[in-house]
Amino acid sequence: MSTVTIENATDSKLQFLHDTLNGLQANPKRLDSKYFYDAIGDRIFQQIMQMEEYYLTAAEMEIMQHQSADIARAILADGSPFDLIELGAGDATKSIHLLRSLLNTQATFSYCPVDISEHVIADLQQNLPNKLPGLDVKGLNGDYFDMLKQATELSGRRKVVLFMGANIGNMTIADAEQFCKTLKSLLAPGDLLIIGFDLKKNPKQILAAYNDKAGITSAFNLNLLRRINSELDANFDTTCFEHYASYDPETGSCKSYLISLTKQQVTIGQTTIQFAENEYIMMEISQKYALSDIDRLAKFSGFELHQRFFDQHRYFVDAIFKV
Ligand code: AVJ
């Protein structure tokens, strides 16, 4: 057991090193936002979700609090038992409302949270049944597609896949199309995919969510450099980089960069990386969608757009795609 854990830790560290060197040796330089979420990054992201400017969390929370009975009804239109598979479950604070609504209907289902973080899964497995007595939790620790495949092999029940929190925004639209196509290939007729999208809106409001006054988003980005220092034996001086966020209302792409404030070099293990003054590292994309973009995504990936649930301001939508 401990050997397996050590091997996995080594594997993921090698992957982290590989992705980091690849990204910083590319032109233009980039890092992968999936590495934001170490223990400190998790904590900073919790702070982001509580920021005045970060409207996304409150908007999706409102949908879950006020419309989870309607979402449950949509799921139960087909009365057969099902597996509710949540990709990137986190602490399930939003999906808990939907789970409660589903339990109220006495539907037969298992809740299968999928997360790459082992401790997220252990936490949910431990704590959810206390909060929601009678809930059958089958945590799956691993990669989204591997775990979805495993879930389909474990039970022949119909599947309802949840992908909330605008996590799809961390993909380009082209990558989101491929992602949905792959999901579709793992699902069967009648199965559902529920995705949370952040919608295009006033550009100033979007930009403010990723460029907050208190500098929390800046700290979130710089934390990845600190993480690289501590885990990959590097020597970034985080005071020599500055966070820059941009939003393009035409494409709906919100992007975060770190700008090198000086000509400088950084070593990562044995490797030296040169930065020119004002050179950028592309850090994260947070893609915003028009309703027509969502229509197109559903069609392209072979789903039918079945139903949509909005918050009162129409900042956010949870959309049900049906196979
Ligand atoms: C967790 C991907 C939805 O893109 O809005 C928040 C991450 N980055 N502030 C987002 C994030 C900067 C967030 N997602």
Q: Give tens-digit pLDDT for 18-40.
A: 999 999 999 999 999 999 988 89
Listed in sequence order, the residues at least 6 apart from 79 whose beta carbon sits closer than 8 Å to its beta carbon are 107
Find, among 65, 34, 117, the residue nearest to 318 by Cα. Answer: 65
Give the span between the Cα atoms of 67 and 101, in whole angstroms: 9
Query: Which residues surround ligand 1 with Cβ inside 6 Å?
Result: 48, 56, 165-167, 169-170, 210, 217, 220, 284, 286
Please choose, from the candidates 88, 128, 130, the residue with its C-alpha nearest in 3D space to the C-alpha of residue 110.
128
Residues in a beta bridge with 247: 254
Q: What share of the chain is helix, strand, coil (3-state, %, to 5)?
A: 45, 25, 30
* One-letter amino acid for residue 290 of the chain: A
Tell me what the mean pLDDT of segment 210-230 comes to. 98
Residue bearing the CA closest to ligand 1, atom 1 = 167
What is the Å distance from ligand 1's center to 303 Cα? 25
Ligand 1 nearest-atom number relative to CA 45: 6
Distance, in Å, from the CA atom of 285 to the CA atom of 262, rounded to the nearest integer, reads: 24
pLDDT tens track for 271-290: 999 999 999 999 999 999 99
Mutation pick for ligand 1 pocket among 32, 36, 45 (CB with most ligand atoms within 8 Å): 45
Q: What is the mean pLDDT of the chain?
A: 94
User: Taking 60 as the threshold, does the pLDDT of residue 2 lie above it?
Assistant: no
- Residue 165 phi/psi, 5° resolution? 70, 15
- β partners of residue 286: 254
Q: What is the spatial distance between Cα 110 and Cα 90, in angstroms, rounded to a whole number?
A: 17
Top mutation candidate among 170, 197, 212, 216 for ligand 1, by most atoms within 8 Å of CB: 170
- pLDDT the model gives residue 3: 42
Measured CA to CA, the distance from residue 71 to residue 96 in angstroms comes to 13
The Cβ of residue 188 has, within 10 Å, a number of other Cβ atoms equal to 11
All residues at 6 or more sequence positions from 5 whose CB lies less than 8 Å from its CB, including other chains: none
Distance 80 CA to ligand 1 centre (A): 35
Residue 48: CB atoms within 10 Å: 18
Query: Is 142 a residue whose pLDDT tops 90?
Result: no
Q: How far is the CA of 220 from the centre of ligand 1 (A)?
A: 10
Please list, in sequence order, all residues whose beta carbon lies within 8 angstroms of the beta carbon of residue 71, skipping any fewer than 6 positions away: 98, 101, 194, 309, 318, 320
Type of residue at 187: L
25, 111, 130: which is closest to 72 by C-alpha? 111
Q: Nearest-CA neighbor of 117 among 221, 224, 8, 222?
A: 8
| Predicted local confidence at residue 264, as pLDDT | 98
Nearest residue to 69 via CA among 23, 105, 18 = 105
pTM: 0.93
Specify the pLDDT at position 1. Answer: 40
Q: What is the pLDDT of residue 7?
A: 55
| Residue-wise pLDDT tens digits, 101-132 | 999 998 999 999 998 778 788 889 999 999 99
Query: Can you tell me the distance from the alpha carbon of 90 to that of 24, in angstroms, rounded to the nearest whole number?
Result: 29
Amino acid letter, residue 252: G
- 36 C-alpha vs ligand 1 centroid, how far in Å? 10
d(CA 164, CA 225): 27
Instruction: Report how far ligand 1's centroid is from the alpha carbon of 58 (Å).
Output: 13
Q: How far apart are the first and last CA of the chain?
A: 39
161-209 per-position pLDDT tens digit? 999 999 999 999 999 999 999 999 999 999 999 999 999 999 999 999 9
**C-alpha of residue 314 to centroid of ligand 1, in Å:** 18
Q: What is the number of the ligand 1 atom nearest to the C-alpha of 286?
A: 4
What is d(CA 186, CA 165) in angstroms, rounded to the nearest whole number? 22
Would you list the DSSP string of 59-73? HHHHHHHHHHHHHHH
193: DSSP letter: E
- ipTM of this complex: 0.99
- Cβ atoms of 258 and 221 within 8 Å: the answer is yes
How many Cβ atoms sit within 10 Å of the Cβ of residue 290?
A: 12
Helix 216-232 × helix 39-49 angle, to 10° = 170
Distance 70 CA to ligand 1 centre (A): 27
**Whose C-alpha lies nearest to ligand 1, atom 10?**
286
Taking only the tens place, the pLDDT of each residue in 78-93 is: 889 999 999 988 788 8
Q: How large a percentage of the chain has pLDDT more than 70?
A: 97
